[in-house]
Amino acid sequence: MRRTSSTFGKCRRPVPGDHKQISLQEFLFYRMDDPLEFPDGPVVKTLRSRHKGPVEDGVKTINCGPFLRKTGLSWIVTCQYLWCVKDICGIICCVFTWMLILYAEYVVLYVMLWHNPYTTWSFINAVIFQFFAFMAISSHMKTMWSDPGSVPKGNATREHILRMGLRAGQVVFKCPKCVSIKPERAHHCSVCQRCIKKMDHHCPWVNNCVGENNQKFFVLFTMYICLISFHSLYMSVYHFITCVGKEWKLCSGFSPPATTVFLIFLIFEGLLFGIFTAIMCGTQLTAICSDETGIENLKKDSGEFEKRSYWLSLKSVFGHPFSWRWFSPFSNPKFTNNASYHCV
């Protein structure tokens, strides 16, 4: 590649595929380069964009490998990099999600179960609730801090395209916003400012895109939030009926007005988020079984790829074979390296 200005004399060329941040200087270098033309080779077409000039990266990757090795947690947390989207709205939504879960924890454990005379019933429901809450928070963090399947930024270089081994006349598409060769079924996220493989949508509740690499964790997050919502709803209604039929002092350490307010807010929270996450979980499972992302459904873009059966689609998201690991946010599915590039 020929540099167009001496300004880039000390510009370091990052290796395509690494997780290092690309500076604005390097980004301008890729944009100002000559058109990618290959005689008797592939044809690179740049997609149209209304955006003029380079776009800032909306993601910050944090290398936590040294910390994990120093604390001895590397065997628990396998991911060496944390994927953090720099979106204030998404961060607020994530904090609000944690606050809602903590509120449910407080009401269930201290308002309802702590003073309940039925110790066996209280213990069983406390264990079930804690399990669902722990799995929900773990799935949420895994979805938020996992790379959803980003295309390496700035990999639209002559060397990288030649290494792809494309046939003569084959057309590949270049994203003008993140200067990347766009794989098939990948879409550019306006929040992350990255192309995401098999992108379904960008969810502010997890402050991340839902894509090829973290869709499993998002489904688990919605499933466990749905379970914890309806479980807390059941306990709230049962507790309210029990307290009305008996003395309030026997079922709660709080005053009747305070207990009533706590229960009403928890019932409202359980109904609202239980129904919402049930719909989201069902929508995601339907999209997985039909092998069609949310963006493809909205655009009515079936593409030229061959759709897989519902069982193969499920295994591609949750891993193979079917086991308890499908329901664990700590188990990363084994993906097959079958990503093809958007070509004709």
Catalytic residues: 203
With CA atoms as reference, report the closest residue to 136 among 232, 212, 59: 232
* Rounded Cα gap, residues 343 and 53, in angstroms: 25
Q: How far apart are CA 245 and CA 239, in angstroms?
A: 10
Helix or strand (DSSP H, E) at 65 = helix 65-71
Under 8 Å CB-to-CB from 15, ≥6 apart: which residues? none
Distance separating alpha carbons of residues 264 and 246, to the nearest angstrom: 19
Count of CB atoms situated within 10 Å of the CB of 100: 16
The single-letter DSSP state of residue 108 is I
**Run of H or E including 126:** helix 119-145
The per-type count for the chain, helices as H runs and strands as E runs, is 9, 9
Residue type, 64: C
Tokens of 39: 């005689």
d(CA 230, CA 235): 9
Contact 169, 43 (CB under 8 A): yes
Q: What is the DSSP string of 268-337?
A: HHHHHHHHHHHHHHHHHHHHHHTT--HHHHHHT---SSPPPPHHHHHHHHH-SS-SGGGG-TTS------
Q: How far apart are CA 251 and CA 121, in angstroms?
A: 13
What is the Cα–Cα distance from 152 to 194, expressed in whole angstroms?
Answer: 8
